[in-house]
Amino acid sequence: MSILSTLTRRCLLGVAAVAVMTSPALAEVDLSGKTVEWVIPFSESGGSAKWANFFAPLLSEALPGSPTVVVKFMPGAGSTKGANWFQKEKAGDGTLLFGTSGSTQFPYLLDDPRVRYEYKDWEVVMASGTGGVAYLDAETGAKFDGSANGLKGIDFIYGSQGATRLDLVPLLAWQMLGMSVEPVFGIKGRGDGRLMFERGEANIDYQTSSSYLKGSMPLVEAGTAVPMMSWGALDADGNIVRDPTFPDIPTFKEVCEATEGCETSGETWDAWKAFFVAGFPVQKMAFLPAGTDAEIVDTFAKAFETVKSRADFAEISAARLGKYPVYTGGGASSALSQAISVNDDAKGFVKGWLKEAYGVELK
């Protein structure tokens, strides 16, 4: 009796032990029949919408069980509303994904009081970047010789979405070059900025890479626009190098070095670089809610990895996203930490500059 019961107990223990050991495998994430909601804190018309809409069907294929991936939009307060909402979401079963952009990063970095979210709490599963190119109209472009020395004293007009947005990067760059650029605020998107440039109302503009390729290259070919500089890209050591999408266009760093009075070291440069890194090379990221199980995080990271390694990925993504790296797993984590680690000096400098140049106070 007792032997039997002991045996049984041992058996049971054994079974239990096996069960414990194999439980990660048994609990393998399967999302079949489920719907993954990918929430984008912007409207249906923005760049983040295009980004998520591009990835959604690919992600659906790559996730175990091929769940339906739907993109939902929750615009408001320049993405702060959606991010604050996401902060409160509980760790789920992998049916909620959240996408952020540079416009979510900048208020966070500038300690905007409306920000109630914390990037460090969330689980990043994918990050992707972009670049940007600034260009001049034909008249002023003729005075550009690789340095901004000939551009001083010209009244530049620039259609801007707001000094605290991504436009901070070009505006600060132009100021460092000693150019006097007057931003005309209140445009709704960079497309409107380009239109203002095409109408001749603005004589300087910048576009992110994919928009530049589509909308501004034809202007360059027609001779009505002259590329000035790209923001550059980061190499493995964090140095700014030429943007692989635009190998022929000098970077801001090169132009700055060639321009009198512009320095590629010191407080101003560090602040510019910090915000450039946060806004461009790591612009858009996808997150799972805080405290999500490691297996689920892993599953999503792997799924994005699968998407990335599709044979046709380079081709289909080039048109939508430009030739920029897509980071997953560990790469995404280090990209994230790079994007949100702006030191206090840089923050303080930019805040002071926003106040002084545009009267913007974040409080």
Partner 1 sequence: MEFMTVALPALNEAFGLILQPAVLSYLVLGVVMGLAVGVFPGLGGIAGLSLLLPFMFGMEPVLGLALMVGMVAVVPTSDTFASVLMGIPGSSASQATVLDGFPMAKKGEAARALSAAFASSLFGGLVGATFLTFFVLIARPLVLAFGLPEMLMVTVLGLSMVAILAGRIALKGLAAAGLGLMVGTIGEADAGGSLRMATYDIPYLTDGLKLVIVGLGIFAVPEIVALLRQDKSISKTAALGAGWADGVRDWFKNIWLSVRCSVIGVMVGVIPGLGGSVVDWIAYGHAVQTTKDKSNFGKGEVRGIVGPESSNNAKEGGGLVPTLLFGIPGSGSMAIFIGAIALLGSGDIEVGPAMLKNNLDITYSIVWLLALANVVGTILCIASSGVIAKLTTIRFTLVAPFLFMLISFAAFQSGQNLADLVALFAIGLLGIFLRRFDWSRPAFLIGFVLSNPAETFTNQAYQIAASRFRKSFEEGIDYIFSPIVIVLLIITVVSVYFGIRQAKMIQAEGDVQSGSKRAPLIFLLLFLAYLVVAFINASLIPDFALTDKIFPMTIGAVAIACCLYLLWRMRVSPETDVIFADKEVAGDDASAPHGLWATLAWFAGLLVLCSIFGFIIALAIFLMAFLRIRGGESWPKAALLTACGIGFMCLMAGALNRDFPPGLLQSFVDLPWPLT
Based on CB atoms, which residue is closest to partner 1, 94 or 159?
Answer: 159
Based on CB atoms, which residue is closest to partner 1, 252 or 275?
Answer: 275
CB of 30 to partner 1, least distance (A): 20
Q: Is 111 in the site for partner 1 (CB under 8 A)?
A: no
Q: Is 191 in the site for partner 1 (CB under 8 A)?
A: yes
Indicate which single residue of 146, 150, 215, 331 sits in contact with partner 1 (rule: CB under 8 A).
215
Q: Is 70 in the site for partner 1 (CB under 8 A)?
A: yes
Q: To the nearest 10°, the Cα dihedral for 308, 339, 286, 290?
A: 130
Q: Is 198 in the site for partner 1 (CB under 8 A)?
A: yes
Q: Is 56 in the site for partner 1 (CB under 8 A)?
A: yes
Q: Is 72 in the site for partner 1 (CB under 8 A)?
A: yes
| Locus of tokens 């500059």 | 353
Q: Render the burial of 249-261: b for 16+ CB within 10 Å, e for the rest.
A: bbbbbbbbeebee
Q: Is 74 in the site for partner 1 (CB under 8 A)?
A: yes
* β-strand partners of 128: 284, 326
Based on CB atoms, which residue is closest to partner 1, 37 or 270?
Answer: 37
CA-closest candidate to residue 112, choices 40, 164, 41, 43: 164
Cβ neighbors of 53 (< 8 A, separation 6 or more) are 71
Indicate which single residue of 9, 10, 120, 320 sits in contact with partner 1 (rule: CB under 8 A).
320
Q: Is 44 in the site for partner 1 (CB under 8 A)?
A: yes
CA-closest candidate to residue 155, choices 203, 197, 193: 203
CB of 246 to partner 1, least distance (A): 18
Write the DSSP string, 135-196. EEEHHHHTT-SSSSGGGTT-EEEEEES-TTSTTHHHHHHHHHTT-EEEEEE--SSHHHHHHH
Distances (CA, A) of 157 to 174, 280, 323: 12, 23, 30
CA-closest candidate to residue 353, choices 271, 249, 274, 277: 271
Cβ neighbors of 129 (< 8 A, separation 6 or more) are 233, 280, 281, 282, 283, 284, 324, 325, 335
Indicate which single residue of 34, 64, 66, 76 sits in contact with partner 1 (rule: CB under 8 A).
76
Based on CB atoms, which residue is closest to partner 1, 71 or 335?
Answer: 71
Select from 66-74, 97-105, 280-288, 326-334 the region that touches partner 1 (CB under 8 A).
66-74
Q: Is 77 in the site for partner 1 (CB under 8 A)?
A: yes
Q: Is 314 in the site for partner 1 (CB under 8 A)?
A: no
Cβ neighbors of 139 (< 8 A, separation 6 or more) are 203
Q: Is 89 in the site for partner 1 (CB under 8 A)?
A: no
Span 112-151, contacts to partner 1 by CB under 8 A = 113-114
158 contacts 182 by C-beta, under 8 angstroms:
yes
Q: Residues for the chain: how many in total? A: 363
Based on CB atoms, which residue is closest to partner 1, 19 or 70?
Answer: 70
Q: Is 50 in the site for partner 1 (CB under 8 A)?
A: yes
Indicate which single residue of 32, 199, 330, 344 sits in contact with partner 1 (rule: CB under 8 A).
199
List of residues contacting partner 1 (CB under 8 A): 43-46, 49-50, 53-54, 56-58, 60, 68-77, 80-81, 113-114, 155, 157, 159, 162, 164, 182, 184-189, 191-192, 194-196, 198-202, 211, 214-215, 218-219, 316, 319-320, 358-360
